[in-house]
Structure formats: C-alpha cells, structure tokens
Amino acid sequence: MTVPTRTTVKDTNRARLIRQLRRHGPMARVALARRTRLSAGAVSAITGELIDEGILCELAAPAPAPAEGAAGPRGRPPVELGLNPDHARVAAVSIRMNLIEGVVADFSGRAIARHAVVCQTRSLDAAGVIERCAQAIDGALERAPGPGPRAIGLAAQGMVDPGTGRQLWSPVLRTGSMDLAAPVAARFGVPVLVENDAAATSLAVVRDQPDLQRGLVAVLMLGHGVGMGLLRDGGAFPGSRGFSSEIGHVRRLPGGAQCRCGQRGCIEAYLADYALYRDGRSLADLPHTDSQQPTEDHMVELARRAEAGEPGLLALYQEAGVALADAISIVGSVLAPRRIVVTGSGLRAFRLMEPTFRSALARAFAPGLVPERDVLFVPGGAERITAGMAHLALEAVDAGLAERPDRQVFSAAG
C-alpha cells in the first residue's frame, strides 16, 4: 500500500555527520557520536552507508605519537573517518585584477590542480569575463584528468549578490552589473555559487583553527580593497548579501579621502592598497601603474621607501593603522564578534601601521569593543580565496548528498 516512506530524520543525521567532517576535519566514529550526540550505533550505521556510497573513507591510523616513551593511549585505537577525496570534485574561480584563476579541488577540499588566466580584466566585456572563467576552469581540469566538477564557486572582488549570482560592481571589471552564475552554470551544467572574495577567504582562514570555529567571528581582509566575511560556528553567517560585509565603505571621516566607490572618507580610502599607492604617488616618485591597481611589487616598493624614511610615506601607513583600528572598533561595536581576524596581503607592511594601530585601538575602547586579545592577525595569501570558495561549493555538494541516492529518484518523480 504505502511506498517506501520518506522521513527526514536520517537525512538530517547524514547531513550532520558530513558537515561535522567537512568543518572540523577527519575524526573517529566515537568523536562523531560525541559531537553530534548521536548514539554509537546510529553513527556506525550511517557511516557504514556513507562509506559504501564512497562518500567517506577510513583513513590510515594517525601517527600514534610514540614520542613520549610512556603514556600511550590504552584500548582499541580509533580509526579516523574522512571525506573520501575521490568521491567528487568541485571547481573554484577567483577573479582578481588581471588574473582569473581556476582551481579543481577534491572532495576533501584539497586543491589538485590550478590554472591561471592572465588578462586585462578591465578590458573585458561580460562575455569575455565568462569566457576567461571557463578557460580557467577548463585549464585546471585538463591538468587533473578525471571526473568533472559537481559544483563551481566563483569569488569576485567588489560587490556580489549571492542570491542572484550577479556581480554588482567590481574594481577589476568595467562591466558594471553582470550575471556570473547563470552563464557558467549553463556552460558546465552544474550549480554555480558566487561570493565576495573576502567572504570566501574567511572560510579558509578559520579552517584549521578550532578556536575560530566557535561563535561569531569576523574576518577582515586587507588587500586591493578592504572586505570582511562573517562566520558563525565556522560556517557562513549570511545576511542579505551573502556573508560578506562592506565594512570598507563605512565612512570614518566626513569629506575625507576620495574612495573609488564614489564616496569620501571610507575606511578603504585610507587602508586599501589602491589608496596607499595613490597617495604615495602624490608624495614620492613611484612607478606608474597602468591598471588602476598597484601590483605586489609596487606595494613592496612603497613599503620599503616608507621604511627608508622617504618624507610623508610613513604617515600614510600610520593613518592606515588608525583606519584599521576604526574598522575593528566599528565591527566590535556593531556586532561584538568573539574574535576579529585580520588577514590579507595588506598585512605585508603591518609593522609600519602597528604603533598607531595599537594606540588608536586602545583609545577607541568604547563600550562593546572587543578587547585587543580578541583581535588576531593571520598571514596568508590569495590561495585562500579559491580554497574557501571550493569549501563553499563542497558544502553545496554535501547538501545534495544528505538526501540518499535512492531518494533522489523519488524526489525527481514526485
């Protein structure tokens, strides 16, 4: 009479186990049971299924830490379970100034191939952007023969709308608003996610840091611009605009420095690479940048000359330090995150900003500001963008896996 009943209970528990492993890395069945509050029997049953389906796999026992002579753990040693790298792949793309980079990642999130497309991004029209993204993905796929991606994540600088998959504005493009997700999805036939690059980075930054996977965490990313990602319990914490925040365009000084967004006095206009270099060129004889953004070499040169005492340049970094303190103070006041992480290539010259940053942060100890010990600096490069975006794409794949294979047939029929 009744067709196979479909309940949501097991799907939910499958999803919980997969997410646990996705966010916190490999762990043994006991650990899964403890952390998901499922019984050992249920974990055994579900993980057995997931292993049969090739979603999970047992990992070689971890090094039993024989360093200490005594005190080996007694009892049957646990066997770590991890996401099976071979189960599925995703692709991630980072759109940056004059560089569109594609990555293919395995199911565990490890990047297995990379392909960079160098091009004048500000000269491209919308079709050109899509074309270069596809090239970046195809190039990476060619270097990693095997199955195609099951989902694709696109990370773009500037404002994006993850809900519609559109780029609204980007400093590296001249297209204005354009659809990113739909054309790429049509081309590869898989779901496409679009996010801001700072948001994507934030996911990668907290990846292997358990302390940052609890509570509300804000990740401020300094680079060509100033972006921020908001995370809760290690996962995206979406507002209406994905989980990125335009903290860079909060005004810190009415009528202040010109920002490329059109306003004056934005935090970004004092703290971002483009602003530091622009102002530096007003003060010193620095190399011309043909795109509107300085390269890493330009920025290193600027910092070197500021450190060498070239007149006025140090003051730029000192002001940037205060702007960074302002940004942290605002985030602390508005949101009170458990931790505020600062990362990105903009930290390269942090030593020049640090004195003014520290004193401004101490002065700005307004009610609600998180104390200085809650501000962390995490170095790291642009590879975090694709790593985070791959993670996001993988979570989308996971969501589909929670529904068991036999179900998908039903849901397609019903």
In the complex, the residues that contact its own copies under the rule CB under 8 A are 8-9, 37, 158-159, 168-169, 215-216, 228, 238-241, 245-247, 249-254, 261-263, 266, 326, 329-331, 333-338, 364, 366-368, 370
Stretch of 10-18, 124-132, 227-235, 298-306 lying at the interface with DNA (CB under 7 A):
10-18
CB 220 within 8 A of CB 357: no
Q: Which of 355, 356, 357, 352 is nearest to 303 (CA)?
A: 352
Whether the Cβ atoms of residue 117 and residue 176 lie closer than 8 Å to each other: no
Nearest to DNA of 68, 297 (CB atom): 68
CB of 366 to its own copies, least distance (A): 4
Is 7 a binding residue for DNA by CB under 7 A? The answer is: yes
Of 20, 44, 289, 292, the one binding DNA (CB under 7 A) is 44
d(CA 352, CA 361) in angstroms, rounded, equals: 15
Does the protein bind DNA through residue 4 (CB under 7 A)? Answer: yes
**Member of 15, 25, 45, 235 binding DNA (CB under 7 A):** 45
246 binds, among DNA, its own copies, none (CB under 5 to 8 A by kind): its own copies
> Which of the listed partners (DNA, its own copies, none) does 24 bind, with a CB threshold of 5 to 8 Å by partner kind?
none
Kindly tell me which of 214 and 348 has the beta carbon lying closer to its own copies: 214
Which secondary-structure segment (H or E) carries 194? strand 192-196
Query: Cβ of residue 13: shortest distance to DNA, in angstroms?
Result: 4
Report the Cα–Cα distance between both ends of the chain, in Å, rounded.
Answer: 17
5 binds, among its own copies, DNA, none (CB under 5 to 8 A by kind): DNA
Is 220 in a helix, a strand, or coil? strand
d(CA 358, CA 121): 37
Please give the structure tokens belonging to residue 109. Answer: 């999130």
Q: Does residue 178 contact residue 166 with C-beta atoms inside 8 Å?
A: yes
Q: Are 47 and 29 in contact (CB under 8 A)?
A: yes
Partner that binds at residue 75, options DNA, its own copies, none, CB closer than 5 to 8 Å by kind: DNA
Q: Which does 373 bind (CB under 5 to 8 A by kind): DNA, its own copies, none?
A: none
Q: Minimum distance between the CB of residue 88 and DNA, rounded to whole angstroms? A: 22
CA dist., res. 112 & res. 125, Å (int) = 30
Burial class (CB in 10 A: 0-12, 13-18, 19+), 284: middle
Give the number of C-alpha atoms closer than 13 A to the C-alpha of residue 335, restricted to the C-beta side: 23
Q: By CB neighbour count within 10 A (0-12 exposed, 13-18 middle, 19+ buried), where does 121 fall?
A: buried
Closer residue to its own copies (CB): 215 or 379: 215
Which residues are paired to 90 by β-bridges? 105
Nearer to its own copies, 214 or 281 (CB): 214
Q: Look up tokens 């043909």; give the residue.
A: 290
Query: Measured from the CB of residue 369, what is the shortest distance to its own copies in angstroms?
Result: 8
CB of residue 277 to DNA, shortest distance in Å: 53
- C-alpha dist (Å) from residue 163 to 156, 176, 192, 200, 236: 14, 17, 11, 15, 14
**What part of residues 73-102 is at the interface with DNA (CB under 7 A)?**
73-79
Task: Determine if 282 is a binding residue for DNA (CB under 7 A).
Answer: no
> Which CB sits closer to DNA, 40 or 366?
40
Comparison of 139 and 337: residue with beta carbon closer to its own copies: 337
The answer to whether the beta carbons of residues 194 and 162 sit under 8 Å apart is: yes
Closest separation in Å from C-beta 137 to its own copies: 28
Interface residues for DNA in 47-76 (CB under 7 A)? 47-48, 61, 64, 70-76
Interface residues with DNA (CB under 7 A) are 1-11, 13, 28-30, 37-48, 61, 64, 70-79
